[in-house]
Structure 1
């Protein structure tokens, strides 16, 4: 599987040639921000974050271009790693950054503040490409671009622990190309009430389709069988084909990252798009968010926690967000006049989201803040926020 990932990684590198940029940019540094490459041996095998494993397997011919270097990449502590990267940033000629949007944005903010400059291009004038994955970039894009002096190219990847599934191989093209011939066999389960229950769990005897049976515009959950030994594994992601002939896909969300307390069927894609629309309309930078389903009197409510450091009118934000969600999702619109009685919006400092991740042992690297919290994680989050509000207690 590591060799398969390397081959697909090289294919994505070659796709950079389709970008309209000067050849000199291919001689710049590639900054890869991921988990620690210092893998732990448990007596049987070495283990660690996927990003740490793949970074440690970068081909020799590419290593001379890669930053932050082996010593910093091995550091297990995320905060000290971040500080060291900021300290060394002025010594590098970074043209490409690779990483999860939230942590890359945090790194750029720290770098700009440390050197007291206006944008990241004052430190890295040749920065032209950001390769991202793991979460939708939509909620981050507005805040991200405030840190830039000039536009850059964005390229999305779909790299999971189970394999390198897809990558964006066309500039200014939102879809990614599914990798069909490199160690993964795919099956597709229509993401419908027939195949999945209200909690996002797979029903008995679901319908499964092969690649020649899929249709554009239909949402599918992915089953993977891989050359690493996974067998019909439900990865938990939901995709949609935008071009079945060219096997081009977009990620719509997760089988469990949706809210349907009373039939509103609110998907992660709906949440991302509505939040992006709202932030744009109010000129607000949203850096993180999560949503919880709650009881409200005898019915239900959605509780949005929004991470922003901008001043914002809470009532206006809530009203516009609710309106945008209703315009995107008919089921949600119907339930807002029925069982979904309230939408609650609470603004929090962005640092609280990062602190909670640290408290869960998931700071930095490839870790992403969950967009929907339920069960134990929802309780932990509520307890964490309550403790921050009332530290004396």
Structure 2
């Protein structure tokens, strides 16, 4: 009998029973007030008159009217750059101890996002909430005695001036509580290896020494790690190495596109729990098994706003137009796409995180990530969101019995006419033209704007299939393997030319 596991499971269930459900709308009002009170004497707070906003009878409305929207480049150039020059009390009291490096899905230059001690506590608190939510899932007591593989970026943070730098997963792992260290794998020594390939190789070598019950990390990199372990030991599935694996905690991107290829690496299904940990904070987690939607954490140092996701509110670079209206949690509707804004205990204010979300249950504050503002393909009026692209590809998987975990596309011109050129990461013998026709038909049936575009300026669809592994190689060449790195789904024409050149060289090294 799993005595220790039974005790832990009992404690988790007891804590969950004693925890009362949050009134999310009231919680958000309180969080905004706390943020404004703490930051009112910073340079940012004085500039935007936080003390006056705090006197308003409608705090949320006054805040929205007084403070503009910021994307990363705007807030960095105007405010966060001062922190790196040694200034204090800029957008949050004091100076940050950490900076989360994030190249995200665009460009080779890393973003530097402040991570304060208040944010470290917020992330730790969110992690505890997620563990408490395990009480809602039907997991045996023995699960609570197993080890957890957290596959993030290196925990070997770089010291620079008066702070440490690294990706948020590395910062979080370097701050795990002492009592958790016995459960945490791959352990400090391996986690500090900076090179992704070397780190995964060491994980594969040590894999049989561990009794892994849960995995945590971004799906694309998790698949590659699992495949490496399977290949190294010459087995058929990861359950041949980790027979007690029962849970996978996905994070940062939707799991659905990877579901079919991920499950092919398993001997039997496992429980998949979605989380939403970004470089800017731990925003949401899946609280219950009846849905794969995630609950926004509304009482933990982050204030959320929502802008209706419409082409007229979005600039060509994916940023927001200042005249775009914003809504608070009380004003949103279910089933609509929104651009997500956050204000946080790290000094991000009305910050465009870059994701679009949809509410599936407003009362529970449950959401799904539907895409990225920069991955909205609206050339010639096609109005394709990542969510619509993913839905079409899932239909393709069913129709042709294939797996398509990765893809990217661009609107390209051939003899002056626009085509959508898709690169699909899949191993298949199905003809390109057959896939293109099915994909085109699916999108037209599901999206009236796309159908109109196809009858006018959008002349057709092209499909090229390549190995899913090449997407990881591209990410490695552009930025860095592993960690928080995500594949860009929609590329500009210029970036797409670089992509095609890279793929040609990978398929035919003599061209390089």
Q: TM-score, normalised by structure 2?
A: 0.74
Q: Which residue of 1 aligns with 2:298?
A: 180
Distance 2:266 2:343 in 1: 41
Say whether residues 1:33 and 2:151 are aligned partners.
yes
Distance 1:381 1:206 in 2: 33
Q: Which residue of 1 aligns with 2:277?
A: 159
* 1:323-344 Cα deviation digits (max 9, x unpaired): 2112221111221121111111
1:219 pairs, out of 337, 341, 351, with 337
Q: Give how far 1:194 is off.
A: 3.7
Q: Which residue of 1 aligns with 2:472?
A: 354
Q: Give how far 1:390 is off.
A: 4.8
The structure whose residues are more often helix, as a share, is 2
Q: Give the gaps of 5 or more residues in structure 2.
A: 1-118
SS in 2 for 1:333: helix
Q: Which residue of 1 aligns with 2:169?
A: 51
Q: TM-score, normalised by structure 1?
A: 0.96
Q: Give how far 1:201 is off.
A: 3.0
2:452 pairs, out of 334, 356, 363, with 334
Q: Give the 3 Å change call, closer, same or farther, for CA 390–89 of structure 1 in structure 2.
A: closer
SS in 2 for 1:154: strand
Q: Which residue of 1 aligns with 2:486?
A: 368
Q: Give how far 1:315 is off.
A: 2.2
Q: Give how far 1:375 is off.
A: 5.6
CA contact (8 A) 2:409 2:420 kept: yes
2:322 pairs, out of 197, 200, 204, with 204
Q: Which residue of 2 aligns with 1:111?
A: 229
Q: Give how far 1:45 is off.
A: 1.3
Distance 1:81 1:140 in 2: 22
CA contact (8 A) 1:138 1:273 kept: no
Q: Give the gaps of 5 or more residues in structure 1.
A: none
Q: Give how far 1:237 is off.
A: 0.9
Question: Greater shift after overlay, 382-391 or 303-312?
Answer: 382-391
SS in 2 for 1:373: coil
CA contact (8 A) 2:193 2:199 kept: yes
Distance 1:385 1:177 in 2: 39
Q: Which residue of 2 aligns with 1:71?
A: 189
Say whether residues 1:266 and 2:375 are aligned partners.
no
Calculate the aligned-residue CA RMSD, in Å.
Answer: 1.5
* 1:294-315 Cα deviation digits (max 9, x unpaired): 1133331111111123333322
Q: Which residue of 2 aligns with 1:125?
A: 243
Q: Give the 3 Å change call, closer, same or farther, for CA 121–392 of structure 1 in structure 2.
A: closer
Question: Greater shift after overlay, 312-321 or 93-102?
Answer: 312-321
Say whether residues 1:287 and 2:433 are aligned partners.
no
Say whether residues 1:17 and 2:135 are aligned partners.
yes
Q: Give how far 1:82 is off.
A: 0.4
CA contact (8 A) 1:221 1:237 kept: yes
Q: Give how far 1:248 is off.
A: 0.9
Q: Give how far 1:389 is off.
A: 4.7
* 1:19-70 Cα deviation digits (max 9, x unpaired): 1121111111100000000001122311011111111111111111010000
Q: Which residue of 2 aligns with 1:8?
A: 126
